[in-house]
Structure 1
C-alpha cells in the first residue's frame, strides 16, 4: 500500500473528526438552551416521542454507507450525553447489572444516564413513585413465555404511567470459564432462559444438570467461580464476569423478543404513532365481553392485545389489560374509553406512549 496515500486518507479522517467534534459542541450548546426553556415552562426534559422523531428522520435521511443501526446507536449516545447536560437522569431497573433489563435500559437511555439496579419490580416502582429515580424499566412480556404478571399487577395500586416501550431481541449465549463444551457438568440460568434453550440443551448437553437461579447475570457470577459449570446469559454478562463463549445464540426460537416498559410520572404528548394501555374490571354478566369491546369496534380502533388476570381481592373475578392503537388525546380513543367505562366497575388508563413497531 502507498504509505503517502494512506497518510492522506488518515488526515482526511482526522479533519472530518474535528468537524464532527465541533458540531457536537454546537449541538450541546443548543441543548443547554432547550433545557433552560423546558425548565422555565416546567416541561419534562425527556420526551420519548421527540427522540423517536429524531431517529426516524435521520434513518430516513441516511444514504449510506454508514449502517442504519449504527446511526441509531451513535445518536442514542449523543442524545444520552445531551440529556445529561440538561439534568442528570437516574433510571431504576430490575437488576442486577448485565441482565436483559439492564441491556434494555442502556438501549433506551444510553451510557450517560445513571442506571440503578433494583432487587424487584416493586422496588423499581417505588424508586420512581417516591421521586428517587426519574424513570424505571421493567419487563412486561416475552414473545415465547408470555406476560410478566408481576409487572401488570403493580399498576393496580400505582399512579405511575407507561411513557414508552422497549423491544429487545433476546439472544442467549452459553458461557463458561474455559469456553470448552467438554468441561460442562451443569448449566445455570434463570428458569425462562433455560426453558427457551431446552431443545438445544437436550441435544448438545443431555447429561448436564440444570440449575435455576434468580437472573441470568447471577448465573454468570456463579459460573465465574465454577470451572465445571456454564451459564446461559447475555454477551454483556459474560464480559462483566470474564467468561468465554462456548456457543452463541443457543435459543431454540430465533424469533425471541422481550417487551419492556419505561414508567414515569407523566403521560407524554402524541407522537403520531401511539399506543394506549388500560386496565379495567367488569361485572360478570351475559354479553359483557362483547359490550366491552364494542366501543372500539364501532370506531375502527385496533386492539393490539388483551389479557386477563384474577382479581386478588375477589375470587372468580378478573381484571383485564388492554393495548390499543392511538393516544388518549385522540377524540375517537377518548370516546371509546368513555363508553367502555359505562360497563366497568374499575377503569384506569396506564399510559399513552410511542409505539415501537
Structure 2
C-alpha cells in the first residue's frame, strides 16, 4: 500500500509539472500573437506536429502526440484571438512583482522573465504591453539597474504602485508620470514600502 501511494504521489508531482509547462507554453503563444499578422499559421502548425512526433519515444506514440498537440494548438489559437494584455515582471511566480502586475491589470496575462534586461527587450519588441519593475525598496534603496534601463530604453512610465511590505497590499500612487526620474528621488519609500513602476513602450510611428 505504501508503494502504491508513493507512485500516486509521483504521478501527482508529474501532473503539476505538466500543467505548469502547459501554462508556460500558452503564455508564450499569447505573446507570440503580438508579433505575427494572423492567428492561424497552417505551415507552422504542421511543422510543430512533425517536430513533436519526431520527439516521441518509449510509451509516447506519434499519434498520441498528434492528438495532444492538436488540442494544445487549438487552445492557443483561442487564447490568441482574445487579444490579452500581457504584463511582464522579473522574478518568479508568487513574487511581489507578480502581485504588482496583477494589481495593475487583473485581466492581464502576467509573464515572468529571468532578468530586467529581458523585460525591457520584450517591451521594446512589443511582446509585453506593460512591464512592472521594482523602483525603490526602503530596505535596499533605489534599484539602480531598473533606473538605468528606464533612462536608456524607449519606454515611458505610466504609473507608480506602492506595495506595503508589512501587509502585502498594492496601492496605486499616481498615473501618467511621464519622465519620472527615480534617481533624483521622485519616488520616496516610507515605512517598509516597496515601489514598483509600470512602463510601456513609447508609441511607434506608423
Task: Give the TM-score of the pair, scaled to structure 2.
Answer: 0.45
> Where is the strand percentage greater, Structure 1 or Structure 2?
1
Judging by fraction of residues, say which structure has more helix: 2
- For the pair shown, the structure with the greater C-alpha radius of gyration is 1
